[in-house]
Amino acid sequence: MGDSLSAAYNLRQQDGWVSLLEKQLSQSNPEIKVVNASVSGETTQGGLSRFPALLESHKPTWVILELGANDALRGYPLNQTTINLETMIEQAHQANSSVLLIGNQIPQNYGKRYTEMFFNLYKDIAEKYNLAYLPFMLQDVALNKELMQNDGIHPNAKGQPIVLKNILPHLETLLDKNKE
């Protein structure tokens, strides 16, 4: 459940990190079906409006929740972003789904206070709900022009495997918990 960072923006679907995850899991865990419900431009409000139907139709064991960057880039109130994310987490838990929360960072030109508040809201939510949590999926990608598209926001095809490498240890923790 994500935005353009998970929807393979401006790439072939098979080059995005979610498709790469699906390919990898098909070999190691063929029983796991990956559903990419990410939409480019998605906000937490849009995600929240679609989420109950997705939970109902797919009945996921795990949910990777990567939303909020577009809220921040549009200057939405962070308290509403928090409420929307927390509501989706609560809905996932009610549907017996474990959640991996993926945080994000926004450019510093949004101001130090807002960018820090945005970054920290994910950590606070993860602590509140005791979630598997990745603070920043674009670690080692975002500042490397060779791994980013010309817009400087979205990873290119070379950057996608690194994004997956960042996410995988956190997801494997959830997969392992389910085996216990």
The residues that are catalytic are 4, 151, 154
CA distance 58 to 152: 33
Report yes or no: 166 and 140 within 8 Å, Cβ to Cβ: yes
The terminus-to-terminus CA distance of the chain in angstroms comes to: 25
Report yes or no: 158 and 49 within 8 Å, Cβ to Cβ: no
CA distance 67 to 164: 16
CA distance 98 to 178: 9
